Structure 1
């Protein structure tokens, strides 16, 4: 019994210790040999241990699952008493945790995943931590809902163009950063949008006013338009427009238009530069702004009342730095920045239109003057033709007189005969020379005005002429040059006939001559799609001795005609040694070396019955008024005479519709000249015999000269800085042309109508930097006036440029001897004159 009790006690104690103390569940008491009450006790202990083990393990299983997040398990073991209460409590906890988790999951899914804002977790019967957790989740969802809805509302407003909204909901962390960024974005967008709207308004307003100003040709209309349109745009209620006028070198600002102004007797209408803010703005060429105008400065009034302006702007109207007017505006409001920008842009645009109208007015005046000069020129051309006819008659008369004198003096002594002939020739030569000088002056003086004015218009320095007007001016310029060439041809021919043409033999390199010809005629041939070749045969000497300029003139005439009368095919120049048999006069076939210049073309050719006419002055192959090719018929006549002067000979071979060959023969050495009274020539069609009778020879119309160069439309002209030039000339047309030219390039001009007036002008002014002195003037001519100026010590170094239209031998030397610094002939080349002026006043 004792052993059994001891064993029972040990087992019960072990099971109690393992289960109750050590927490090792599942233990069972085993007592061998126990029966009866001890066995029942053992079974009760084991039953208690078993129940406790299953209950605790079930509780542990559920709590472990809960701890792991599994809320699907509950305590299902049988229990009673406190264990049952514990079971119920734990199962209730699991249910509430499941409900809490489901609500939190639902809210998280709706808010975080599905985007359904405003959701709240609803868990009944929770308190303590679970209630706080539920409230935290709901607070989180509520804050997130409020923040996102606030951001959405503002962004929707921005999308619809409403930039007045801002996000005002409380936020922190990244949401606060997002809130601040969106608010900053709205502010930036509002500022940018405002700026863009202002710029759009600015561009639209400038374009509108600029468009309205286009096409007006009257300054009164333009200023009225500006004052009716500009003040309302910048919210001004009062304004005046002053135009700048230049009278006698003094700039005055005169009121031309107004807006909302009360114009009484006390309202000023004119200001000088620097006078009042209007004159000061014009003087400084800067905008003047005045804020807070004092009382009684000006009243902005209507029929119902008046008010003082808050802001006043005085705006100079400029064009290329020149003040053309001043606009004054006042307003009862402050002018905004965009208003200032608009006014600054418009002052240049308004200036451009004012300058355009004034330039158009000046252009019309110049065109009228040009037309008048052209009419005078036509009248002078008619006078020239009559004079030429008279000259021819007088020349014929002189020739008959000379023949009569020679016949009467045949029986006189040889010395007396030669002396008398010399005297008669001298008289005739002097008469022709004086006539040529006077005609040169009478023709070149008006032509000088035409060329200078036409070139000024063609240069279009102010850029105010359209393309058609520039082309018209160029046409006038080219026509004037053509007339100049005609005058030069007539004078050259007359000089030759009068024996006043001189030659200056110098060594002429053929390679340089070829380069000169190539540069002139290859472009002309290319324009007509003609083949152009120049060939020098190997045995030709490298140079010949002759007058370089006269040889160039002859070849230019021949080649110009070849290009002019050839429409398809080729033009060629061949330089070779001439065969002795080619020269017409047999006396020259032996010793003299000659160079032949062959000018060959595939052009229209010359009929055989016209060969004897084309070398005569004023004669052409087609002399009708309906002829295809224009010209005076002087070029080949001059070429024939120049060939004679150079000791040469001309031959022509021609066949209609098959072209022509003109051959110029010149001696290699200037001493080996051919005997000349007429020009040696050979005029033959290809079918005629080799020894055709000599006759005048050349092509059947005058050459197309190259001195008529295209007037450049643009360039970099010489610019001056207000230096003063005195023009002394009795011809007002010439004075006007020269003054217009010089003033266009920045010079000031004083004028005197004769030599005495020029001397007085010099004595009255101390700022004259240079004098342009016309040589031919009535009374005190240019040379005498120059000599008197040089006699005054203060003007010994004053630059004086002599200007003459006579251009006869000795004229230059006489002008320089009288004290002229330099010399220039009419028609004056504008660029050459400007270079001379720049040399002496720079």
Structure 2
């Protein structure tokens, strides 16, 4: 019964508090009861003692009053003196009885009190009444004779003595009562402390039990989450909590999150596997068959068909291209019109169809022995740029899950591109083949026509040819200036296209190299895992460079579309703090953000571009600042401009370099890249984005004191936005006109850097590698040593010269160009000054691939030149040439 009840944390705490309150209540009730009893006892004793003393005094007073009244009457004969006497006689016995009731439990006092009674009665009988009677009868002589013996005086003296004795006894009794009360009070105090101690112990035990029941389960959850979060943790791990409280709910919620992450990880790994699978396939049928073979097991499908779109307009149809686990050509229709059946409807509506437990369906799934009817059928459209390319149909003995649908949705996003690319390449090859045939036929026809008319038109053709040549020369001269302007655009388009083309294989490189580097299955040795880490790190750096080039090329090609909306300026500081506070804390630099008091809350501009400008400027500021501060300030100028300044206390920029740094791939000097990293594209991108937003950027800098970049941005009205968009559209139109020429240029450049590899033996050759980048050193040393070469590494030019002075028997030198302290150019010049090193082959390695850089390397003393990223087959081929020449010499 209790196990079924849900004890949440609040219930446990409330029960704990309730039990503690019960303990405190019991303690309070016990102490209160004892205090009340003690108080009642004190009141009883106090009242009794006071009453006893009062009664003793009253009886004594009555006796004295009777004696005094008696003597006054005897002396004066005035009967008014008898009033006190009569009153004393009438009330002393009542007071005596009351006193007797109080002290009847004390035998000694009781005896003395009884003697007092006898004495009073005896006095009244023997002294009081007789003398008063004598006085009333005028028997003066008898009275005098009576007083000569005066028995009454002796009785009264004896009575006073007894009263004093009783009073003293009662005083002693009161003192004893007081001592007894003090002892009881002391015991009460000790009892209170004991009760408080017991209540505290019980409360502590209750609190410990409640807190332990809560903390124990929390620690269990935290321990499991920590294990999952560790590098070796598995997403398949689940949290098990036995308690039925909020912690169990937390554990269940965490388990749901882990299940979601595990599913997402499964989807991502399969999507990456599919992306790798499609690389290098140039046949649509092979692509379709590979897709079905790969995807069907992922979604537990036991049958699959791949339909490709054919035709255009109303003639569009789906043709069966490949199947998975098909039972023959009769399974599945060969051709389906758009809208025909569910497959045709899927193609027409371009949406997913899922049918569970189809009725009266002919068996599709077969083995060698039996046929099965599918439990679930799934049809998925494959699209590219909102155009249908294919339809995939799967059937399964089990129901398709939401995870399967999510996987297919993710795969479909990129697979449409692969289908379109492969189909496009096949169509291009077909058209090229047809074009070649037609060209040959046309050339034959032209040759025949020329031969038949040559003798009639020879002179005319010669004159016409000269005229055309003159016109062509004139057109070429007119187009020359235009081509000069277009050349920059060619470069931009080429960079943009190449950036897009590079990202696809690079993504695969990053994913696969990361998987290899993690080496979860421990299938790679330490060196191989190291290779993978270097590949992944280099790929990440390359991806950042490609992103920067892509942004710059989009701007220059006019393909950046502005999205103008209300930008909340009050939110930007928090966004910047989230990004750069960790960097500031790591470098121990103050990061200050100031907002002008009259700054409006909302500004009309492109918020995404504005944030990119700020991030680039702040990244530069933190990169070049080692101490001091970086300040970001927003102001509203009197010209209704938004002024944003980024001020740092870094290395500063010389005045002669302040315009140069806004150009692409430019930095202050060669050492800047080596010391601080970067490509030199950040400020160029900032400058171009500021221009697009209709603003300007200013720089104020002093060497070793810091720099201040100030961006001025206007409010973008609809009129300004329309003019910017018009300029972008014109640039984009120009870019499209030059697309064909850009593709030709791209092919030519690719052909220039492609060489056929040859193999040779390098065993025993001594190579000096001069390179400062640890990643390149790691990769090159292992590649060269794999050819059994002896490799010596120098981290810079000075170290290279020191090594060569000590040993000059190297067969070849691989020289990096951009290095700190002494770059490759200066090092090669110094080497060639030495007569022993003039014939030593030097191959220059540089990331710059321009013709002027090659000439500069050769002028500095390089034997040959190769650009980065290095193709090892090219490098080995080049090394083979120079090593062969060295042997020949």
- Do the two structures share a fold, i.e. TM-score over 0.5? no
Which of the two has greater helix per residue? 2
TM (normalized to structure 1)?
0.27
TM (normalized to structure 2)?
0.26
Q: More relative contact order in 1 or in 2 (CA 8 Å, sep 6+)?
A: 1
